[in-house]
Structures are given as C-alpha cells and as structure tokens.
Structure 1
Amino acid sequence: MYRSLEVGDTARVVNPSDATECRLGTVTDVRYATPHTTYARRYTLRFPIGDERTYPAAHVVRCTRADDHAALEAAFIKAAVVLRHACRIAHDYDPDLSSGTASILRRLVDLASLRLKQTLDPADPAWPHTGTQNGGDR
C-alpha cells in the first residue's frame, strides 16, 4: 500500500549528488499533485546542517535512524575487513606502517563497540556480534 511521507518523517535522497544529500533529512513540506490526492509530487527535506531542498517524490525514500545504524554496521564491518587485510600486507612491508594500521583497526573495533554496541573480531571482522548475543547460536 502506498503511503506518502508526512511532515516530520525522516527520509534520504535516493541518488545523492553531494555530501549534504547523503545525510538523513526531515520532511518539512509535502506538495501533492492535486488538493484531493494522497500521492505526493514533491518533498522538501531539511538536512542536519539547516539546508532545505525540494525533490520529486520518486527521488526520496523513507529512512530511519535504524536504517542508518544498519548501514553504519555494514560499513564498519567492511572497513575492518579491509584494514585487517592492509595490516597483513603492511606487516611484511614496513613495521611502522604495520603498527599504525593495526592502531587504526583497534580504534575502529573500539568505536564500533562503544557507539554501535557491535563487536568486531579483528581475527574475523566479517562476523558481527551485537551486545545482545550471548555467543551461542539459536
């Protein structure tokens, strides 16, 4: 069932063209095709920096903070995998580069744990563990 966004809903631009549009916006205005329809034609979004922009309805998608959380978890997992690989390469290339890369990986693991409640295992960061898991499969 189609349900247009309403004022106060959060949304994201489908194909962002700059850094502002990559952020979650709040709907501040909805313009409909006719006064007696529920199909929105355009949405005005206010971004966290205070910038307001108007987009066709097809260019905006409903999105919540939970969606952001999931996207961050996926990005941190991907970053941890890449950094782990870089650590292995750097180990053979340069000891200082190796320790610096390992430090970045450790900071990423700590940040994911502290802010997202996600446990990244540097030995296997592709397996996300949340603070609610007890370590066993269910």
Structure 2
Amino acid sequence: MYRSLEYGDTARVTKPSDSVEYRLGTVTDVRYSTPHTTHARRYTLRFPNGDERTYPATIVKRATRADDRAALEAALTKAAEAVRDACRIAHDYDADLSTGTASLLRRLVDLASLRLGLTLIPTNPARPHHRNQDGGDQ
C-alpha cells in the first residue's frame, strides 16, 4: 500500500549527487498531484546543515536513524577491508607507510568499537561482531 511521507518524517534521496544529499533529511513540505489526493508529487527536505531542497517523490525514500547505523556499519566495514589490504601492500613497499597504515586501521577499529559497539576484526573486518549493552557478544 502506498503511503506518502508526511511533515516531520525523515527521508533520504535515493541517488545522492553531493555530500548534503547523503544525509538524513526531514520533510518540511509535500506537494500533491491534485488537491484531492494523497499521492505526493514532490517533497521538500531540510538537511542538518539547514539546506532545504525539493525533489520528485520518486527519488525520495523513507529512512530512519536505524538506516543510518546500518549504512555506517557497512561503510566502516568496507573501509576497514580497504585499509587492511593497503596495510598488506604497504608492508612490502615502505616501512613508514606500513606503520602509518596499520595505525590508521587501529584507529578505525577503535572508532567502530567505541562509537557503535561494532567489533571489527582487523584480519577479517567483513565479519563484524555486535556487542550488547552489557558488553557481551551477540
């Protein structure tokens, strides 16, 4: 069943074209196809930096903070994999570069752990572990 977004709902642009559009926006205006319908034609979103932009309804999707968390987990996991691979290459290329890359990977793993409770294993970051609030593994 189709249900249009309403004022105050949070949403995201499906194909972001700049850094603002990657962020979660709040619906501030809805324009309908006709005065007597609930089928939205356009949405105006306000982003955290204060920008307001209007988009066709077809390129806006409902999103929540939980969606942000999932996206962050995926992005940090992908970044950890890339930095891990760079560490392996840097090890044979340059000792200083290897040390710096390993430090970057350690900081990335620590950030994921401290801010999201996500345990990235540096040797295999593609399989993150989630901690419960009491610190135990799920």
Rounded to whole Å, the distance in 1 between the matches of 2:18 and 2:126 is 29
1:76 equivalent in structure 2: 76
Whose strand fraction is larger, Structure 1's or Structure 2's?
Answer: 1
- Moved segments of 4+, more than 6 Å: none
Rounded to whole Å, the distance in 2 between the matches of 1:87 and 1:54 is 43
Is the contact made by 2:118 and 2:128 (CA closer than 8 Å) also made in structure 1? yes
2:100 equivalent in structure 1: 100
1:60 equivalent in structure 2: 60
Rounded to whole Å, the distance in 1 between the matches of 2:61 and 2:125 is 30
**Structure 1: which 5+ residue stretches go unaligned?**
none
Secondary structure, aligned partner of 2:26: strand
Deviation at 1:20, TM superposition (A): 1.1
2:126 equivalent in structure 1: 126
Rounded to whole Å, the distance in 1 between the matches of 2:36 and 2:93 is 67
Secondary structure, aligned partner of 1:27: strand
For 2:101, the aligned partner's letter is: T
Deviation at 1:32, TM superposition (A): 0.9
Deviation at 1:135, TM superposition (A): 4.8
Query: What TM-score, normalized to structure 1?
Result: 0.94
The alignment of Structure 1 onto Structure 2 pairs a total of residues equal to 136
Verify: 1:23 aligned to 2:20, yes or no: no
Secondary structure, aligned partner of 2:120: strand
Indicate how the Cα distance of structure 1 residues 105 and 60 shifts in structure 2: closer, same or farther if over 3 A, else same. Answer: same
Identical positions, percent: 74
Is the contact made by 2:41 and 2:56 (CA closer than 8 Å) also made in structure 1? yes
Query: What TM-score, normalized to structure 2?
Result: 0.94
Rounded to whole Å, the distance in 2 between the matches of 1:90 and 1:80 is 15
